[in-house]
Amino acid sequence: MNAFYAKVVSGLVVFSVAIAGCSTPVSKTEEGVAEEQSKEIKKAYATEVEEMLKEGPGKYAGSAYHKENANKELDTLPKNLTGEQAYQKLVELFAEDYQSYVKKLDEFDTTYTVSGDPGDLKTPTGKLLNVMILVDSSGSMAGKVDGFSKMTLAKKAVSRFASSLSTHANVSLRVYGHKGSNADKDKDISCKSTEVVYPLGKYDQQKFNKALDAFKPTGWTPIALAMKEAANDLSKITGPSENLVYVVSDGIETCGGNPVQVAQELSKSNVKAVVNIIGFDVDNAGQKALQEVAKAGGGEYATVRNDEGLRRYFDTQKMKIWDQWLMWKVNNVGEILKQFTDKKHLLQNLTYTGLGIDEVSNTESQHMRDALNYLEDSGKLSSEEADKADELITNRADKIDEYRKSRYDSIIKLLEENKEKIREIVEKKGKDKMDEYDTN
């Protein structure tokens, strides 16, 4: 009896231990392995759009797509795939290459260019403007017009013109025939006389007017010599420049020089100066000779008879520069708008519905779904798991769609903002320059 109970008790103990052994919890090591496996599944494919865009190109992406070959590869997959496993395989095979689009968007140029530098404009062509004024100081300039000497009226007009030049322009004043006298005995001295009384530089009213007071009508008329020396002055200038030469004279060359030849050399030399001649109260023969000089210099000749005519001539020169600034402003505003349209079109090709990224994404989704249907029809995964994989495909497409829209919105905003900024700069600069040269 005792032996029997002992066996029963012993059996119960063994049974209890066995049960206890069978119900022992999974060890921490096993839990860790399971957890790591779970993590590996989560990390097997990207969940953020930036990483999704880096997953391609898959084996059958782009021009490498071949449905039959892809299906053969799908046939090698095991059955009972989960939705995540199926999706991961689809990414490996069919993810498209988005990096070329991402790179173009990252490097998209949202800036604009205009002719000349808006921060330091000099002339409508973006070049430094150099104005050289050559004044005849021969004895005949002492002659009277409307009660004033021609020299007095010429100085007044030249002073007014110089003061109206842009603050970005350089001006120089050279006198010729100002030494000796107009007598034959002093011809050699006078014909060799030409001098810069105001060196090329920014206009300073006090210094410029002082320079004008430094000479009086005296000798002969060495126009060719004065122009040749002006050419030497211009040849010392470095960098791109626009050079204008104005010769004020009441007569022709009287020192044996060849102003036509010098004017032609000036126009065709590296300095490319335009020579304009202002004939002040000149007779018909003198006008014809001076017209030839202006023509050779690529400029124009104008005859003025009095103070009003001289003033009107220089105002006309100012208006020409005013017109250039007007056209500069109009052309650059138009160019900015054209650049905006071109850049917007380029951006649309990268991001618009049915184009660029969207077109590639649609192709990718279609290939993935075709393959998913094939897997389901082949019994590689259940309908339930196929639905899960389809949700992942949809999620991928939605995130890529949000990405392209976001990139378009941010870049077009920058394009709009920069367009308005540069347009304001151009319009303000154009207006300021036009105000400087306004003759009203």
Q: Are residues 299 and 382 part of one domain?
A: no
Domain co-membership, 164 together with 78 = no
User: Are residues 338 and 301 located together in one domain of the fold?
Assistant: no
Residue labelled with tokens 């032609």: 264
Residue 25, both tokens: 């919890």
Same domain? 89 vs 179: no
What is the domain range of residue 291?
128-305
**Judgement on whether residues 143 and 283 belong to the same structural domain of the protein:** yes
Q: What integer pLDDT is reported at residue 123 of this predicted model?
A: 54
- pTM for the full predicted model: 0.63
Residue whose tokens read 């084996």: 59
Residue of 133, 199, 128 lying closest to 160 (CA atoms):
133
Q: Hey, is 253 helix, strand or coil?
A: coil
Based on the domain organization, do 301 and 337 belong to the same domain? no
Tokens of 35: 């957890």
Rounded to an integer, what distance in angstroms lies between the CA atom of residue 429 and that of residue 123?
11
Domain match, 260 and 364 both? no
Answer yes or no: is pLDDT of 180 > 80: yes
Q: Is 115 part of a structural domain of the chain?
A: no
Q: What is the pLDDT of residues 134-163, one digit of tens each?
A: 999 999 999 998 888 999 989 988 998 888
In a domain, 35, yes or no: no
* DSSP secondary structure code for residue 186 in this structure: G
Query: CB–CB of 379/74 below 8 Å?
Result: no
Tokens for 261, please give them. Answer: 């030849």
Is residue 120 included in any domain, yes or no?
no
pLDDT for the residue 140: 92
Instruction: Say if 273 falls within a structural domain.
Output: yes
Same domain for 219 and 249? yes
Q: How far is it, in rounded angstroms, from Cα 74 to Cα 89?
A: 9
Residue 152 in any domain: the answer is: yes
Q: Are residues 159 and 247 in the same domain?
A: yes
354 and 438 in a common domain: yes
Whether residue 264 is contained in a domain is answered as yes
Domain boundary among 289, 305, 321: 305
- Based on the fold, state whether residues 295 and 350 are members of the same structural domain: no
User: Does residue 257 lie within any of the structural domains?
Assistant: yes
Task: For residue 57, count CB atoms less than 10 angstroms from its CB and return exposed for 0-12, middle for 13-18, buried for 19 or more.
Answer: middle
Task: Please tell me the total number of residues recorded for the chain in this structure.
Answer: 440
Predicted confidence at residue 425, as pLDDT, reads: 93
5 token code pair? 């109970």
Look at residue 7 and tell me whether its pLDDT is greater than 50. Answer: no
Domain count of the fold of the chain = 2
Q: Which of 252, 248, 253, 259 is nearest to 304 (CA)?
A: 248
133's CB contacts (< 8 A; 6+ apart) are: 158, 161, 162, 171, 172, 173, 174, 246, 248
Look at residue 270 and tell me if it is in a domain: yes
Q: Give the DSSP letter of residue 381.
A: S
CATH of the domain at 166: 3.40.50.410
Name the token pair of 266.
Answer: 């000036």
Cβ atoms 320, 309 nearer than 8 A: no
pLDDT at 24 over 60: no
Of 261, 286, 305, the residue that ends a domain is 305
User: How far apart are the C-alpha atoms of 46 and 249, rounded to whole Å?
Assistant: 83
Report pLDDT digits (tens) over 262-313: 999 988 888 888 899 988 888 888 899 999 999 999 988 988 877 777 778 7
Residue-wise pLDDT for 59-117, tens only, equals 999 999 999 999 999 999 999 999 999 999 999 999 999 999 999 999 999 999 987 64
Both 255 and 338 in one domain: the answer is: no
pLDDT for the residue 260:
94
